[in-house]
Structure 1
């Protein structure tokens, strides 16, 4: 028997374990732009543990297949995690697997985020396959020989397995336990390692009692009220809030603008005004330039959830997936009690992001999805924003004729990533230095989104709806990723300051109300949670009298505000009227950036109270939403 062909199966253990460790180091570098050597053992530990257990429980003849199958499975997982991070900027947990069915709905967007380096996770598999094919071609069918390693080699192998299981298990337990006390999820993932971080996420989910809460919701509401009473949100003056009921009985249209950041407003590109329609509406109504996204993993659907409920997303799962079976306190329900009918319009299929469950949970009377719109093949979703608005106005005009006030939510898709629109729809010409760049494509798509809103305004006027409708417009989330569009490119193109986190998460909020000709710029910091309370105030709906628990606030009637954010920033991150704060392992090693200057703030001591408050408030929001009744 040829001894050179008689390699012991133990070699596959060492090879696969080494390859998986290298892949985890690659993933670490892609996630954090560095490899912190003090934590690399945390990547090796779970690999050794899993490989060691498999080696002990797997029959000899199956070991090779099992080891390499594990390599294939984990390579696919690492590849998916890297692409996920490219797209969302967050380290995914196993809970993100709940949303895998959404990938095919945004295939074009996801494909554009795959980078060549991501394919390195399969380089070894490709090499092994090519080598096997070469040997088969050169030598014919490959004979398989039984492995008969020496007694000393088997002893060494047994010691290696014991060390792998005991040492790998012990180090994994230590890494997991050390990371659990860290608030910042990115720091958690970096210190624990990717595989151990999944265990940390599972333990946290178990502690959170899943999606069904225990306890008395009234006690939770009392705790929320007591906590909010400690924060000076409101002016001390009594009486009715300013603007309360000024738009009582008016129709309401809320436009959720896809991937729309605030920085293009009131800006021009080569003398071409980027958002002339929104600029005009802002100049005539309430414009809130300091509003920030607060979405979780549900992205666009989370924005819909928040603007309609004023409840924080839980940060681990899309709210439409986790809470589509609930009866959610919401703006549609508040207005239906006032005699309104509420409908929502979106050109995609309603099953995307589980909206077929979310919309009934929110209390909409009905929805209009893909089949209701003329498909002009604008992008992967089908119909353009113009077709969205054409259908919506036709349906709303019919309600107007019946004398029924309405609330309509219009969710746009024309400015969806990767921001490539047909030439026939383009309204501006980007300069040569931006041709073919993501920034150039983004500004072109944003400009079209603005143009389409202009067609909505004209249709509302033609149908006699304009003078009786409150029009609210806001962005659902960021569009530009720092790795694709550096701040310097934005600043050079538009001549405006841009910060890769503050400006990225800054979204527009505009409320145009009938009879208001002189606009008002409201500098108060706010978030998507604040939309419902502000709209309710304009319509004369008292949340207090309705017994409605909102985690946002009326931006027209507070003199100070703080909003929390997680998922796209670590838990404990917040925006107040002065800074954006992002924790490190905790508050003391956190960082703050001035919202005015976009420069770092060195003295963060005075923001400790906001940090503690936001963590408690978001925890109570999680507790509250889990206690809401199921439908």
Structure 2
């Protein structure tokens, strides 16, 4: 026993720097989770330690990375430790920035989408915080101990035994996380899986383990999956159990045969509707349209890693996006029973219009596959005025009117705006709310001004459609693609010295406004989400439920006994019994299988 004790002591004395580097990287991993889980600026570790399902799993991934230290000699050992730590720190930084922007973490799938970064430099900069530099603090500590404390670095030959033992022991704990089973009475499968919440997944696997598992999954997910017979049965049974109310009400066929214009407004949240700053309405034109609209005031975003492109997908297919990566990048050529395909059966001409380039988020290729007759991108417009990421909403919407006027009727035109995209740094000459200095210079003030500008453009667009005689026989649907300022800059709002309670609302709500000239205002309080758009619009247009009942995840919000919705992270808003809740949550899994297998092509 004495010999073993002396032997271990000798190993420690000869490799102090190795053990210190492992410990510091462990602390850094915990700090990352503390920052993400608590959603604060603090890198305090104490909160997150209680959330860790397997601390040995964390150490195991770190030791595997560090174990190659034993294969070097002398100072090359030190160089290796510093290089690995620096590489991991950069990876962690990107994870934090990515999480602030998209609510998930860097993955191999997202690396395949780097073409989307060409015009996002300002947006990316807005996600970087000065306190992120604290992630490099442990490297300075490591350097201090190496230089000042004269930490011994073994100059012997390669330590093959130490390498082999550290590597094998770590692999054993990764393959079979015994400590997690004992301490938490969980199964291995409960750790090695991608959950609805990226926060939970990365906490289970560790920040390093998350990326190892991500690569493993990417290799498995490169192609469409093959569904088992049981999985196909499960999909059919899920749709059979979905709510299907046969009775009709006043809304069925209310707009039968009318043209449909859907406007997906970048980052439009519901909390600005009917609100004023300094006596000025933030969205005066949308507020005006409400007087002749069906207004859904409990409608929620359900986008995932594909953010805005997921908005395109969900409202046109009534499916949740895939859980990993962007659906439009992974499966751009999938077959769907989509809104444009359904409407084409009823004689509609379908047209999708974006003011950015077709390859951006791969939207043009994907929307053609979804079923649009024509897709128009930036190359078809005169880019005579740029704001933020591209063509201004004012110029863009003005140029769309002639396109709509010449379309064959009835038509379905899907329009996506751009100017109100983060980081909401719209130029002063476009600002009209006269905000105080602090608010004007904040992200929230920039958001208010960006939405106010886009609202003005929407008002001009609607008025021009009316002048051209297009509104009498047209329904205009307006909604957001996802949250805006609350999605990216919640902390910035909370840190304002003077704020109003309604500014702090962050509940994933986006407005859904169904406008038709001359109709009376109606407000629908039913809780729903983007997957409900397709069946709800079909109901208003008089489309029979048989066209979408066994392909749409959503339900008709105008004819339902349910009052809840499921968000992309698996959380539920509203009150619902446990059985219905389980069924709804399974809809996320069902959607993933449908898309990942290209299920509708096989039917």
TM over 0.5: yes
- Alignment CA distance shift 1:221-1:70 (3 Å): same
Q: Is the 8 A contact 2:240 2:550 kept in 1?
A: no
Paired position in structure 2 for 1:339: 347
Paired position in structure 2 for 1:179: 191
1:527 to 522, 526, 529: 529
Of the structure 1 ranges 96-105 and 72-81, higher mean CA displacement relative to structure 2 is found in 96-105
SS in 1 for 2:120: helix
Q: Does 1:242 align with 2:250?
A: yes
CA distance in 1: counterparts of 2:262 and 2:293, whole angstroms: 14
Q: Does 1:484 align with 2:491?
A: yes
Paired position in structure 2 for 1:78: 92
Cα displacement (A) at 1:178: 5.1
Q: 1:49-101, CA deviations, whole angstroms, 9 ceiling, x for partnerless residues?
A: 2222x346679997666554433432321121111122223344443333333
Cα displacement (A) at 1:164: 2.6
Paired position in structure 2 for 1:43: 58
Q: Is the 8 A contact 1:83 1:118 kept in 2?
A: no
SS in 2 for 1:544: helix
CA distance in 1: counterparts of 2:311 and 2:262, whole angstroms: 12
- Alignment CA distance shift 1:364-1:241 (3 Å): same
2:585 to 579, 591, 615: 615
Cα displacement (A) at 1:196: 1.9
CA distance in 2: counterparts of 1:371 and 1:209, whole angstroms: 31
Paired position in structure 2 for 1:628: 599
Cα displacement (A) at 1:105: 3.3
Q: Which structure 2 residues correspond to residues 51-450 of structure 1 after superposition, within 5 A?
A: 51-52=66-67, 54-55=68-69, 67-122=81-136, 149=155, 160-173=162-175, 174=177, 177=189, 179-180=191-192, 184-201=197-214, 211-215=224-228, 219=233, 221-228=235-242, 231=243, 234=245, 239-399=247-407, 403-450=408-455
Q: Is the 8 A contact 1:287 1:510 kept in 2?
A: yes
- Alignment CA distance shift 1:211-1:218 (3 Å): closer
Cα displacement (A) at 1:532: 1.0
CA distance in 2: counterparts of 1:126 and 1:536, whole angstroms: 61
SS in 2 for 1:533: helix
CA distance in 2: counterparts of 1:442 and 1:575, whole angstroms: 25
Cα displacement (A) at 1:463: 1.4
SS in 2 for 1:114: coil
CA distance in 1: counterparts of 2:168 and 2:550, whole angstroms: 53
Q: 1:247-266, CA deviations, whole angstroms, 9 ceiling, x for partnerless residues?
A: 22211111101111101111
Q: 1:291-339, CA deviations, whole angstroms, 9 ceiling, x for partnerless residues?
A: 0000010000000100000011122121111221212221111122222
- Alignment CA distance shift 1:23-1:100 (3 Å): farther
Of the structure 1 ranges 325-334 and 448-457, higher mean CA displacement relative to structure 2 is found in 325-334
SS in 2 for 1:395: helix
Paired position in structure 1 for 2:551: 549
CA distance in 2: counterparts of 1:341 and 1:227, whole angstroms: 33
Q: 1:376-435, CA deviations, whole angstroms, 9 ceiling, x for partnerless residues?
A: 443332211111211211111111xxx432211111111110111122222221123412
CA distance in 1: counterparts of 2:452 and 2:557, whole angstroms: 27
Cα displacement (A) at 1:279: 1.0
Paired position in structure 1 for 2:512: 509
SS in 2 for 1:297: coil
Q: Is the 8 A contact 1:298 1:318 kept in 2?
A: yes
Q: How many residues align?
A: 560
Cα displacement (A) at 1:37: 3.0
CA distance in 1: counterparts of 2:293 and 2:493, whole angstroms: 32
Q: 1:502-532, CA deviations, whole angstroms, 9 ceiling, x for partnerless residues?
A: 2xx011000012441x110000001011111
Q: 1:169-198, CA deviations, whole angstroms, 9 ceiling, x for partnerless residues?
A: 233331665524776542332243112233
Q: Which structure 2 residues correspond to residues 470-481 of structure 1 after superposition, within 5 A?
A: 470-481=475-486
Cα RMSD over matched residues?
Answer: 3.4
CA distance in 2: counterparts of 1:469 and 1:177, whole angstroms: 52
- Consecutive unaligned residues of structure 1, counting only runs of 5 or more, are 1-7, 135-146, 579-605
TM-score normalized by the length of structure 1: 0.80
Q: Is the 8 A contact 1:573 1:611 kept in 2?
A: no
- Consecutive unaligned residues of structure 2, counting only runs of 5 or more, are 1-12, 39-43, 148-152, 181-187
CA distance in 1: counterparts of 2:22 and 2:145, whole angstroms: 20
